[in-house]
Amino acid sequence: MNILDIKPYYIISQEEDSVFVGNNKFLEFYIDDVPLCEYIFKKYNFSIFDTAIGVGALGWFKSSAFEEKCLLKQLLKIPLTEQEAETKVKYNNPNPLKEDIEDFLSYYKTEEIWIYLSTCCGDPVCWGWNIGVIEKNDTFTWEVDENITFEFQKNAYVSTLKEIIKIIDEKNMPLKDAFDW
């Protein structure tokens, strides 16, 4: 079984005009003490951060506490309420139709979860990396791609993610503001 942890991560940019200047930190998923992005780098021989295209979805400079909690709940396979879905949809559309909310709830239930996003806008359509999350009786499995898979003991996995939700709730702020960077 793998061990999941979530810790601050910094991108060191060598380019002065890099989009990372000022936007170079987020919370990264560490698996067996190795950042998830390094597993991807080793497999594909590139960094998702080389061309300023990606940033982690937790703690990035434009994320809100609500959006981060939605991601964590998605990783835990906890359904969103209709009210939570409406709040999420209203970030992009102040007057959503009922169908917009239903579409989002349907999308939210998929096994593909966006954990890296476009640095400039946070929209996975612009650029992003998703993982599949499968819950079984005693485990959660992450499918990063067809050759990178991690299996976590359910109780430890749930405890790790719920601890981050607790930080958001207690500090009542997004993760970018909740940690002493």
- Spans of all domains in the chain: 4-178
For the beta carbon of residue 17, count every other beta carbon within 10 angstroms: 7
Give residue 142's pLDDT. Answer: 96
Global pTM? 0.83
Three-state secondary-structure class, residue 79 = coil
Give residue 37's pLDDT. Answer: 84
Q: Determine the Cα–Cα distance for residues 151 and 95; give it in Å rounded to an integer.
A: 40
Give residue 1's pLDDT. Answer: 96
Q: Residue 94 burial by CB count (10 A; 0-12/13-18/19+): exposed, middle or buried?
A: exposed
Per residue in 162-179, pLDDT (tens digit) is 999 999 889 888 787 777
Three-state secondary-structure class, residue 180 = coil
Q: Which residues of the chain have pLDDT under 50?
A: 18-22, 51-52
Q: Determine the Cα–Cα distance for residues 157 and 154; give it in Å rounded to an integer.
A: 5
Give residue 151's pLDDT. Answer: 98
- State the Cα torsion 101-106-107-108 to the nearest 10°: 90
Give residue 70's pLDDT. Answer: 86
Enclosing H/E stretch for 144: strand 139-145
